[in-house]
Amino acid sequence: MKLEKRFREIIKKMKAYRYALSLIGWDSNTEAPRNTFKRRSKMTAYLSKELFKLQTSKEYQDIVYNLYDKYDELDDLLQREIKKAKRNLEKIINIPEEEFLEYTKLINDSQIIWEDAKANNDFESFKDNLEKIVKYNKKFALYYDKLANPYDTLLEDFEEGMTTKEYDFFFESLKHDLVPFVKEILKKTNNNYEELRSANFPKTGQKQFSEYLLEVFDFNKKSGLIKESVHPFTWNTSPEDVRFTTKYMENYIFSSIYSTIHELGHATYEQQISTSYNDTLLNGGTSMGIHESQSRFYENNIGRSLAFWETHFDKFKEIFPEQVKNYKPIDMFKASNNVEASLIRIEADELTYPLHIMVRYDIERMLFNNEIEVKDLPKVWNDKIEEYLSVRPKNDTEGVLQDVHWSSGMLGYFPTYALGSAYSAQIYYQMKKELDIEKLIKTNKINEINKWLKDKLHKYGSSKTPKELMELITKEKFNPKYYIRYLKEKYSKIYN
Ligand SMILES: [Zn+2]
């Protein structure tokens, strides 16, 4: 009992540091003026150092290992917490301090080098850094587990329980069933709606519609707020404080609408987690994949549905009477589900999106299996994109250099994006058995959908694994067939 009490005290202290660091992070990403940068990095470096000391202290290590020794005597929640604590600890303490510092510097330097390389279409200038990043990641993964495939260790970091074995099966199914379907759709035309998609929608009106969306999705404004940033994101410290950003582009209305709804999905998940986990390691969403399943569910299954536009077109037209005078709800529905073989992942539509992820997964897997080298990436990238989408990048800026992830050391992260969409399709079919989703959207009762998700998923925070949650909600194991079925049903209808 004494051990447990001390464990709890240290966790609370860690949380206090993280709380301060998070708030500073939110501020620096939204409002802080430019010149605050230097002083802020000094202050945060000090706080981070203190947090690091606490996280790796001898006392904390002893407590975690002692509690782990008594694993069977602990209750379920504490068992899960200790397992997490042990993993987090071993991810850090097994790395020699010198190498850890070198790696931190490498990642810091790589940001600017990647940005410049991307701006100048110059893969050569980024190649050496990327090679080092891959090497360090392999090495660190082996420090953690010298017997496992390093890529499996990294995949597991971002999505508990997922390794190449599961992902191979998932992506093979997509390759087999989805690639031919996408190629067929790409041959058809959807009238494109180019005019509507690129029409001018003043920012003030877009902001007004975003505010309206917060009401439609029943977002709790007493425990959250919305701001603007270049890359939309959701931020939280506890269910009582969940903030997110959106992005307004005057010549692309769908950017703000779907950024707002996407982040509302992340934010609603965080707001609906039980506050009883606040002072534990079981707070927050359980994994990247499950988090993304929620944002994509709100964005695609609700926001990009015909029912959604039939219900909210009047409000939209009230704000933008001129821009949409020649359109009906069905046009908004079709225009927001336009399929295109684009080269850029973040601009890709719902149907082609997983193929962009597949390219990245194939490449990471081959890199870690030593089947290719970093210097081969530009060519391998372009070949893969062409294989799946029948288009070929003209340069590396719109090819291998487009994403920030690898330069920040996030290897093994990409697959969770596609996995999230697949989870959401499986959850959608289960929800359909229990709720009349279309009717709820049409009668403006999205709060009923929120409630269902809270009871089945959100309230648990990280107290259950992604696999446990999927089985609890859908009464079966994760199965990619639902995702393929969902995409085929939806896009066959839109494209006849
Ligand atoms: Zn997201």
Q: Which residues contact 116 (CB under 8 A, 6 or more apart)?
A: 122, 125
pTM of the model: 0.95
Angle at Cα 453 formed by Cα 450 and Cα 459, nearest 5°? 105
Mind telling me the catalytic residues? 263
Q: Per-residue confidence of the chain (496 residues) as pLDDT tens digits?
A: 689 999 999 999 999 999 999 999 999 889 899 899 889 988 998 999 899 999 999 999 999 999 999 999 999 999 999 999 999 999 999 999 899 889 988 998 898 899 999 999 999 999 999 999 999 999 999 999 999 999 999 999 999 999 999 999 999 999 999 999 999 999 887 667 889 999 999 999 999 999 999 999 999 999 999 999 888 999 999 999 999 999 999 999 999 999 999 999 999 999 999 999 999 999 999 999 999 999 999 999 999 999 999 999 999 999 999 999 999 999 999 999 999 999 999 889 999 999 999 999 999 999 999 999 999 999 999 999 999 999 999 999 999 999 999 999 999 999 999 999 999 999 999 999 999 999 999 999 999 999 999 999 999 999 999 999 999 999 999 999 999 999 999 999 999 8
Cβ(301)–Cβ(157) below 8 Å: no
Interval between CA 420 and ligand 1 midpoint (Å): 9
Q: Which residues are CB-contacts of 179 (< 8 A; sequence separation ≥ 6)? A: 355, 388
Residue 482 identity? Y
Distance 103 CA to ligand 1 centre (A): 27
First vs last C-alpha separation in the chain: 64
Ligand 1: distance of its center to the CA of 232 in Å?
9
The alpha carbon of 233 and the centre of ligand 1 are apart by a number of angstroms equal to 7
Backbone angles phi, psi at 235, to 5 degrees: -135, 145
Q: If you search the block for the tokens 């690091």, which residue do you land on?
A: 52
SS3 state at 31 = coil
Task: List, in sequence order, every residue forming a beta bridge with 235; answer none if it has no partner.
Answer: 243
| 283 CA distance to ligand 1 middle (Å) | 18
Query: How far is residue 171's CA from residue 293's CA, in Å, rounded to a whole number?
Result: 17
Kindly give the distance from the C-alpha atom of residue 234 to the centroid of ligand 1, in angstroms, as a whole number. Answer: 8
How is residue 172 written in tokens?
């093979």
- Pull the structure tokens for residue 179: 């690639």
Q: Separation of 262 CA from ligand 1 center, angstroms?
A: 6
